Amino acid sequence: HLVARHGVRGLLLASRRGEADPVLRALVEELRTAGDGRVEVRAEACDLADAAAVDRLVAGVDPARPLTGVFHAAGTLDDAVLANLTDERLDRVLRPKADAAAHLHRATEGLPLAAFVLFSSVAGVLGNAGQAGYAAANAHLDALAQRRTSAGLPGTSLAWGLWETDDTSGMAGSLDTAARARIDRLGIRPLSTAEGLDLLDAALALGDKAPALLVPARFDTAALARRPGGPPPLLADLVPARRAT
């Protein structure tokens, strides 16, 4: 999307496996083809939760094609009620979100970036049963974006609602029936890929006028109104007030 819609001609894709991941390798080839040979794409194996590895990744960027934007879209789930949370389970969720974003911030803080975009989740704004670790990880991204904008640096945290997908390897595809039911009770309805990308474009179009935190999500106000106990306080203004009869 950045290539097709925004004219990006240089991409550095970082993941733990790099081109050893067949899905990423196929994406690299697709991007090169889509750009008619004018798009330079490099895939690197890098654990972004490793500070030294992030330093090496950023230092390896060609000065002739400097880094101008960062999009952090990593994440994983390990849902559990509080009684079943362990250090290991929390670490598994926090590392790719909170640790990686913090390392990217520190490693690029002195660079003249035009964009520093964090893919967060509405779970960090509203909370969600069974997702204490995931909510905390995303709240960290939201706070990091605020810290950056307060320091005069670009920073936008997008607290996404649910994306609909047929890919069972994706985060939405990994949700079981109970998890989807909890999301439904919050009145959250899935976004199509096209709708999600339109919302991304709308956020990017705001430029330096964008608030540090945006919540691109779809809410079913009728479902919120029917919710036992009423809507969550943060969403109360979305529900039309009932007229007295």
Rounded Cα distance, 154 and 21, in Å: 31
pLDDT band at residue 231 under the 50/70/90 scheme: confident
Those residues whose C-beta lies under 8 Å from the C-beta of residue 177, and which sit 6 or more positions away, are: none
The neighbouring-strand residues paired with 11 are: 41
Instruction: Provide Rg for the chain, Cα atoms.
Output: 19
What CATH number does the domain containing 175 carry? Answer: 3.40.50.720
pLDDT band at residue 15 under the 50/70/90 scheme: very high
pTM, 2 dp = 0.88
Rounded Cα distance, 224 and 103, in Å: 38
More confident: 164 or 201:
201
pLDDT band at residue 194 under the 50/70/90 scheme: very high
Closest by CA position to 165, among listed 182, 186, 178, 180 = 180
Does the pLDDT at position 245 exceed 60? no
Q: Flag whether 54 is in a domain.
A: no
Q: Give the range of the structural domain holding residue 86, as residue numbers without chain letter.
A: 67-230
Rounded Cα distance, 97 and 185, in Å: 25
Tell me how many domains the chain contains: 1
pLDDT band at residue 188 under the 50/70/90 scheme: confident
Q: In the chain, pLDDT over 70 holds for what percent of residues?
A: 89
As a whole number, mean pLDDT of residues 40-67 equals 95
pLDDT score for 34? 76
Rounded Cα distance, 24 and 119, in Å: 19
Rounded Cα distance, 61 and 11, in Å: 10
pLDDT score for 199? 97
pLDDT score for 78? 86
pLDDT score for 178? 62
pLDDT score for 200? 97
Rounded to a whole number of angstroms, the distance between the first and last alpha carbons of the chain is 50
Q: In the chain, pLDDT over 90 holds for what percent of residues?
A: 62
Rounded Cα distance, 243 and 236, in Å: 15
pLDDT score for 168? 45
195 C-beta neighbours (distance < 10 Å), count: 14
Does the pLDDT at position 244 exceed 60? no
Q: Flag whether 22 is in a domain.
A: no
Rounded Cα distance, 211 and 63, in Å: 30
Q: By CB neighbour count within 10 A (0-12 exposed, 13-18 middle, 19+ buried), where does 153 fall?
A: middle
